[in-house]
Structure 1
Amino acid sequence: MPITLTLTEGVLPLNNIEKAVSKLTDSFLKHHEMSGNNVMTRNVTAHVSVIPKGLTFAGGKTVDGAWVETKTPSFALANKEVQESFFNEATQIIHDLSGGKLPKEKIWGNGVHTVDGTWNIDGTPLTNEGIFEAVSKG
């Protein structure tokens, strides 16, 4: 379940980027009641892109900001309560790690649901049913 964190250069201190990924991962697992599940934990992945100032935009104008995007199977982030709680917490995490300097309105988030069967978990392509089976062992 990849989490993509995109940041304008300088919105987070470099030493807080790894903390952000760790906290976002923990939050994703918590909001899906999967904290401590070994299979799911090692398969929540992340990557960070730091974009030079002047190359991130909102409303067609340059902006310093942060973007949190998840790519998940259709059963993850599937209900409104989980969506709101995760993305509210993700926003707070980034805001706090910026030292309060990045306003919450400059932190955007979105979730993308993918096609069933397009997951590669522990090196094996799985359908949603296969993911449930694998996670139940974790």
Structure 2
Amino acid sequence: MHLAYPAVLSVLLFSVGLYGVLARRNAILVLMAVELMLNAVNLNLVAFDVWLRDTLHAGQALTLFTVAVAAAEIGIGLALVLLVYRNRGTSDVDRLRDLTEHPGDDDESAYVEQPATTDTGAGPLPGQVTPAGRTTA
């Protein structure tokens, strides 16, 4: 078997996956592009395993590990995308740059208690700045 055919196919798959990661804005499409890149690596591992005629079949064993990692990555990645979509209403990667809540959302910062005032109606306390900018004695 010629090694050039699966290697060229692997390079093409990896290039399409890399383009998908860099150009896509939807998080699900980015995850699909990462899967394409992992499948290109798997193709290379199996092709080199066959080409080298390895008796231990290390390339195929590594491919099994890569498939397991890819399955875990897709499971966790899709769970995160669904959680972000539920909270933010979008899965657009460009709009998810910050991890803070947007103003107007129901967040805890709107309910922070203000410091208690010391105004008892008896006038300013000693050392307190009055509205005119003067410090009282």
TM-score by length of 1: 0.26
Answer 1 or 2: which has greater helix percent: 2
Answer 1 or 2: which has greater strand percent: 1
Q: Which has the larger radius of gyration?
A: 2
* Structure of higher RCO (CA pairs closer than 8 Å, 6+ residues apart): 1
